[in-house]
Amino acid sequence: MSRLAGGKTPSDVLQYLEGVSFPAKKDDLVHHARKNQAPNDIVAALGALPRTDFASPEEVIEVYPPMGG
C-alpha cells in the first residue's frame, strides 16, 4: 500500500472524513476533518488539495499528497 504525506495510509486519512456526504466540496472535507479531530498535517493537506469538488473518497485519495511529495 502506498503511503501518503506524513506516512499516512488512505484509511488513516479517510477515518477523519467520517460524516462527509459525497459529492463534497474541499471546505466540507476540511470542516469534517477538524470536527473529527484530525491532526494538523491532515487538515493542512486537505486544505491544499488542488481540486475543490470530489465525487467520492477515492477521488480525495487520488489527489492527496504522496509521501515525500
Specify the pLDDT at position 44: 96
pTM of the model: 0.91
Region for residue 19 given its phi and psi (left: phi exceeds 0; alpha: psi -120 to 50; beta: otherwise): left
Torsion angle (degrees, nearest 10) of CA 48, 23, 20, 65 = -30
pLDDT of residue 69 exceeding 90, the answer is no
Q: What is the mean pLDDT of residues 4-31?
A: 95
- pLDDT of 27-52, one tens digit each? 999 999 999 999 999 999 999 999 99
pLDDT band at 67 (very low <50, low <70, confident <90, very high): confident
